[in-house]
Structure 1
Amino acid sequence: MDLPSIPAKVDAAALTSVLDGRWAELRRQVRAQMTENQFRDSYDLDTESHRGQILEQLRELANTDRPRLGFDRGYGGGGDIGGSVTSFEMLGFGDLSLMVKAGVQWGLFGGAVQLLGTERHHERYLRPIMDLGLLGCFAMTETGHGSDVQHLGTTAEYDPATREFVVNTPDRAAYKTYIGNAARDGRMAVVFAQLVTGGSGRGVHAFVVPIRDENGDPAPGVHIEDCGPKAGLNGVDNGRLAFDQVRVPREALLNRYADVAEDGTYSSPIESDGRRFFTMLGTLIRGRVSVAGSAGCATERALALAIRYGDVRRQFERPGDGEEVVILDYRAHQRKLLPALATSYALHFAQEELVGALHDIQGSADTDEHSQRELESRAAGVKAIATWHATDTIQKAREACGGAGYLSENLLPSLKADTDVFTTFEGDNTVLLQLVAKGLLTSYREDFQDLSAMGTVKFAAEQLLGAVIERTAARQAIERLIDASPRRDDEDSLFDRGWQLKLFEDREEHVLDGVARRLRRAGAADADPFEVFNDAQDHVLQAGRVHVDRVVLEAFVAAIERCEDPDARTLLERVCDLYVLSNIEADRAWFLEHGRISSTRAKAVVTAVNGLCAMLRPHARTLVDAFAIPEQFLAAPMLTG
């Protein structure tokens, strides 16, 4: 392969500049604050001590400006949505219990009050939420309903005689469960419940409900249980909540999207109950975006630990010279870590784009429904792929460190335990990759009936998976690369960026075409839409995955375009090649089955991945140093002797 050589030394700071992106200055400030505040790791603490330490660290955070970033300026906030998400995700470098508890307090609880409430709620609650005068919970998930929020069992029935809502848990399946801040510290909860007024149900709405009194005892009618020890994140006090005819005033309804008058009359600017419900949920995606970013930071930390260890640990003598070999010099070890590192770079750039889109869309006064729907789809896909990548990569990092990686003092076990739940909270990953497809099947059936085969593919690409591509400068650059890509079938073309982009696009289009053809059957008169969708779930999941792969690659290409340092750019080009070719290698069966690559080229891909691992090996330490993780979070004894 005839590729430009990577300079012997590349400045890690130049890579950091590209990685830090739009919120670079904020990232530098957050790192400085992290360095000043010794946020201690907690692998040797019991549950109660861990919870106490995390609450103490939460109060340290409250003394900085970071928790205020996402709130409105009129209430002492920073008015910086993207900055808020960026600062939260960087907590993923440290104890993830702190990230989760901060996310519950300021992202979920505070975010729900801000985004679903109106001025009366903002005036009363936002300032104490920001400064921790009021600790709260986000009580959505129930024992019997996790992903299916639309059918929650908790009820809130309006009583016009007293002008109160009566919140009730009808059975054990309706217990609010896994609720962060509920078991110990929370004083109030945003409770999602079925609103009933005048004998009619109006769907799920959110209410602010006190759960403890000033002494910390459960409020009248509120039953609280501790979920107990978990596999990880034991610094977060997860609990269960149940309500026995708990009365709250009419004003407890977070009424941005709907209200109930004193006489019980219901009103809403959104007529459809279903559309109103999904609009409310759509405003709350900051948590999902933050989880994706925090998973990325935790993965970067694990890779930094494993690669630093691999750079000093020696095993087996090299024949002829008697020197033991540094384990990162072994190709098998490189293959374990370097493709994962390349994917982490790719997902980092995709996350940066996602946060930028969130900031622009939620910060705009005239956001259209289509843009919001596309944002939700992008957030779901990136979160799913990023958290699955975290689970897989942190396990590889643990294995790469052998027995040392199994010791709690070396930090990897807690990273593995704490991130495991990321694949199923803030949206189960399997459900996230199907969610928009299922909505399309039920809500847009007429569109499927009326569209031609090609129109169906385009409709699926735009509506099902959020694949609308605006003609931005970055997109135009991508199209130029594709147009200039070679049509030859030799080894060198494996490294042509246009060819790579076209291959990912072709795969997505082909899979989408197959999904669309299978789902069109739902429009037939004798079809059972559920069975049609159920039979196609494997195909829908594949479509979601290859769509995200293409989006992530394009984000990587755009980041390279922004890189001004020529040496760093050359290194990033090769990291991007490794991301692409390891992805193709993992999906070789599909590419071969569908005639996208020949068997000869499939073998060449394996050879190219080996070659790229060898080429990037001297720069592995630079690549992880570029994440600029504060050193206190990399202080593992296995790295110091």
Structure 2
Amino acid sequence: MDLPPMPGKVDPAPLTAVLDGRWAELKRAVREQLTGRHFREPIGLDVEEHRALVLDQLRELATTDWPRLGFDPAHGGGGDVGGSVMAFEMLAFGDLSLMVKAGVQWGLFGGAVQLLGTERHHERYLRPIMDLDLLGCFAMTETGHGSDVQHLRTTATYDPATLEFVIDTPETSATKNYIGNAARDGRMAVVFAQLVTGGEGRGVHAFLVPIREADGRPSPGVSIGDCGPKAGLDGVDNGTLAFRRVRVAREALLNRYGDVAEDGTYSSPIESDGRRFFTMLGTLIRGRVSVAGSACSATMRALALAVRYGERRRQFRRPGEDEEVVILDYLAHQRTLLPALATTYAVHFAQEELVGTLHEIQSADEVDERRQRELEARAAGLKAVATWHATATIQAAREACGGAGYLAENLLPALKADTDVFTTFEGDNTVLLQLVAKGLLTSYQQDFQDLGMLATARFVAEQFVGAVIERTAARQVIERLVDAGSTRDDEDALFDRGWQLRLFEDRESHVLDTLARRLRPAADGDAFAVFNNAQDHVLRAGRVHVDRVVLEAFVAAIERCDDPDATALLDRLCDLYVLSTIEADRAWFLEHGRLSSTRAKAVVAAVNALCQELRPHAETLVDAFAIPEQFLDAPLLHSA
């Protein structure tokens, strides 16, 4: 097949501009500040040395404006939610322990105080949190409950005689576990517990609980443990917390969504306990969004190392030639790295859109509940896909660097170890792709009974995967391309953007339609059993939805590019994302008659052709990530 001609050498700067997007100026400033600071790699350090180094670096960060970006300007913050997320994503170009510890301190701990607390908490705590005068923890997960936050066992029982809450760990399985900042540095924790007042449980709420005295000893009634050696992130002091009748003042309750009067009367602006719980969790979505972005940054770093190595490392000779072949010239090596590179661009563009939506929603005076639900669903799906992609791609990058990639000095082993937990923290990925469907079965059974089959499919599409899309300018471009898409059945149609978009939309629509049919018996029978038996289908529905969202984000990013050569390169890279995704799911497309066997074979040939066409631009594509060079200073790039 004949592909359109590609430009010669492409300047990476216009690509960087598209990648940096809305917060380009902020990202340039962060890069300059990172370059001017010595955030050295923790190679060869033991756990205590690594923790001490990360705390020192955290204190250095506290002298910059970054930690303040996401906080209320009334208390010294920058009022830039999206900018805050972007700044911390860029920390993931370096030691991920620093990024995680910063995220715990300013994103989770500080974010909970800001978003769940009220003025009395903001006035007292936000500045010390921003300045790092008060180090804190986010104590949600328990040994026995991680994903099922609604059924945490820690209790906070109000005592009207003393105007205090009594925080208690009723059993070993209720011990708070994996808590960042707990084992060594934290002085206070936001503790999520079942609020009980007047003998009545009011669901999970958050409380500010001191965990250490000024001299570093545990506070009375608080037991602190160290999680011990982990697979990675040794610079983060993950620990355990247990409470034995620890008393805190009534004002320790973060009371934006629920309050307790002196006499024990409970009040809330949200009447339903269930709705209140999900509203509270929804406000804390910033952490999940940040994990997806940080996974993208770590993936970019791994690919930059592997592609540069592939441009330098030589193995085997062509017949009749003396010089060995650069390994990136081999198609097998291209197939290892270039489709992953295309997907990384695609996921990054979807992440940029997600952060923009987060910024708009959390900067608004009032919460739009519909948009908030869509944001939560989109964040869940993208976090799952981004972190699974990071795990697979960093492994592929390690293998692409051979034995050199296994040496700690070459950075890839730490990236592999440190990102492994991303697939299970801030929400287990498998659970994230099921959350909304599970909510459908428990909360919307009546809708299933009343809706017809087509309407049911549409209902699932909107509620399950957040597929409601406003008619933005970008969406209008998508619709125009789909309407103009080719209906031909030849190989050249594979590169028609409208055909590609329509194929992804059709796959999503079909999967959702058949899922709706499969779930419909839940309205009349054992909802759990119906859902449990359809989990494979549920996971596929979530995944194909995200694939479509990611493709549309890529198309919108190409539209924003104003450099012709960069646009042409991005356009070809988008083709590789689409066709490698189709190739990976060829079985479905063949089984459901969306591709003929001839066209399925053509997809494989097209991926090969695209890899070979993009190979001369591979280093340009990773240079466009604009990762500070200090984070790519690996010996394998000097010795290959």
What TM-score does the superposition give when structure 1 sets the normalisation length? 0.99
TM-fit CA distance, 1:379: 0.3
Give, in whole Å, the separation in 1 of the partners of 2:166 and 2:15: 56
Q: Specify the SS of the correspondent of 1:627.
A: coil
Q: Specify the SS of the correspondent of 2:433.
A: helix
TM-fit CA distance, 1:416: 0.0
Does structure 1 residue 606 correspond to structure 2 residue 597? Answer: no
Aligned to 2:81: 81
Give, in whole Å, the separation in 2 of the partners of 1:469 and 1:79: 27
Aligned to 2:143: 143
TM-fit CA distance, 1:121: 0.2
Please give the residue correspondences for 1:97-496 in structure 2 after superposition, counting only pairs within 5 Å.
Answer: 97-496=97-496
Work out which of the residue numbers 603, 615, 625 in structure 2 matches 1:627.
625
Q: Is the 8 A contact 1:7 1:567 kept in 2?
A: yes
Does structure 1 residue 555 correspond to structure 2 residue 557? Answer: no
Cα displacement string for residues 534-574 of structure 1 (whole angstroms, at most 9, x for unaligned residues): 00100000000000000000000000000000000000000
Structure 1: which 5+ residue stretches go unaligned? none
Report the aligned-residue RMSD. Answer: 0.5
Moved over 2 A (4+): 1-4
Aligned to 1:591: 589
Does structure 1 residue 5 correspond to structure 2 residue 5? Answer: yes
TM-fit CA distance, 1:320: 1.5
Q: What letter is aligned with 2:132?
A: L
Give, in whole Å, the separation in 2 of the partners of 1:561 and 1:299: 24
TM-fit CA distance, 1:229: 1.1
TM-fit CA distance, 1:365: 1.3
Work out which of the residue numbers 616, 619, 632 in structure 2 matches 1:618.
616
Give, in whole Å, the separation in 1 of the partners of 2:182 and 2:550: 36
Give, in whole Å, the separation in 2 of the partners of 1:83 and 1:23: 7
TM-fit CA distance, 1:238: 0.2
Give, in whole Å, the separation in 1 of the partners of 2:67 and 2:449: 48
Q: Is the 8 A contact 1:197 1:266 kept in 2?
A: yes
What TM-score does the superposition give when structure 2 sets the normalisation length? 1.00
Structure 2: which 5+ residue stretches go unaligned? none
Q: Is the 8 A contact 1:58 1:102 kept in 2?
A: yes
Q: Specify the SS of the correspondent of 1:426.
A: coil
Give, in whole Å, the separation in 2 of the partners of 1:617 and 1:285: 38
TM-fit CA distance, 1:38: 1.1
Q: What letter is aligned with 1:348?
A: H
Does structure 1 residue 30 correspond to structure 2 residue 30? Answer: yes
Does structure 1 residue 571 correspond to structure 2 residue 537? Answer: no
Aligned to 1:544: 542
TM-fit CA distance, 1:486: 1.1
Cα displacement string for residues 485-504 of structure 1 (whole angstroms, at most 9, x for unaligned residues): 11110000000000000000
Aligned to 1:640: 638
Aligned to 1:65: 65
Q: What letter is aligned with 1:533?
A: F
Q: Is the 8 A contact 1:232 1:418 kept in 2?
A: yes
Q: What letter is aligned with 1:496?
A: D
TM-fit CA distance, 1:514: 1.0
Q: What letter is aligned with 1:205?
A: H
Q: Specify the SS of the correspondent of 2:166.
A: strand
Q: Specify the SS of the correspondent of 1:10.
A: coil
Give, in whole Å, the separation in 1 of the partners of 2:440 and 2:131: 42
Q: What letter is aligned with 2:54?
A: I
TM-fit CA distance, 1:321: 1.2
TM-fit CA distance, 1:111: 0.1
Cα displacement string for residues 115-154 of structure 1 (whole angstroms, at most 9, x for unaligned residues): 0000000000000000000000000000000000000010
TM-fit CA distance, 1:43: 2.3
Give, in whole Å, the separation in 1 of the partners of 2:29 and 2:470: 33
Q: Is the 8 A contact 1:578 1:609 kept in 2?
A: yes
Give, in whole Å, the separation in 2 of the partners of 1:383 and 1:635: 28
TM-fit CA distance, 1:465: 0.6
Q: What letter is aligned with 2:351?
A: Q
TM-fit CA distance, 1:4: 2.6
TM-fit CA distance, 1:61: 0.4
TM-fit CA distance, 1:44: 1.0
Give, in whole Å, the separation in 2 of the partners of 1:382 and 1:30: 24
Give, in whole Å, the separation in 2 of the partners of 1:368 and 1:478: 25
Q: Specify the SS of the correspondent of 1:77.
A: coil
Identity over aligned pairs, percent: 79
Q: What letter is aligned with 1:224?
A: I
Q: Is the 8 A contact 1:394 1:412 kept in 2?
A: yes
Give, in whole Å, the separation in 1 of the partners of 2:366 and 2:478: 29
TM-fit CA distance, 1:2: 3.5
Q: What letter is aligned with 2:379?
A: A
Give, in whole Å, the separation in 1 of the partners of 2:7 and 2:421: 40
Number of equivalenced pairs: 639
Give, in whole Å, the separation in 2 of the partners of 1:418 and 1:245: 36
Q: Is the 8 A contact 1:257 1:269 kept in 2?
A: yes
Q: Is the 8 A contact 1:4 1:570 kept in 2?
A: no
Aligned to 2:532: 534
Q: What letter is aligned with 1:640?
A: H
Does structure 1 residue 507 correspond to structure 2 residue 514? Answer: no
TM-fit CA distance, 1:322: 2.2
Q: Specify the SS of the correspondent of 2:402.
A: coil
Q: Specify the SS of the correspondent of 1:581.
A: helix
Give, in whole Å, the separation in 2 of the partners of 1:405 and 1:201: 53
Cα displacement string for residues 21-48 of structure 1 (whole angstroms, at most 9, x for unaligned residues): 0000000000001001111111211000
TM-fit CA distance, 1:188: 0.1
TM-fit CA distance, 1:367: 2.6
Q: Specify the SS of the correspondent of 1:147.
A: coil
Give, in whole Å, the separation in 1 of the partners of 2:231 and 2:464: 35
Aligned to 2:90: 90
Q: Is the 8 A contact 1:136 1:181 kept in 2?
A: yes
Q: What letter is aligned with 1:130?
A: M
Q: What letter is aligned with 2:292?
A: A
Cα displacement string for residues 398-422 of structure 1 (whole angstroms, at most 9, x for unaligned residues): 0000000000000000000000000
Q: What letter is aligned with 2:526?
A: D
Cα displacement string for residues 337-356 of structure 1 (whole angstroms, at most 9, x for unaligned residues): 00000000000100000000
Give, in whole Å, the separation in 1 of the partners of 2:409 and 2:109: 33
Give, in whole Å, the separation in 2 of the partners of 1:440 and 1:110: 32
Q: Specify the SS of the correspondent of 1:248.
A: strand
Give, in whole Å, the separation in 1 of the partners of 2:121 and 2:514: 48
Q: Specify the SS of the correspondent of 1:298.
A: helix
Stretch moving more, 360-369 or 401-410: 360-369
Cα displacement string for residues 361-394 of structure 1 (whole angstroms, at most 9, x for unaligned residues): 1111133211100000000000000000000000
Q: Specify the SS of the correspondent of 2:276.
A: helix
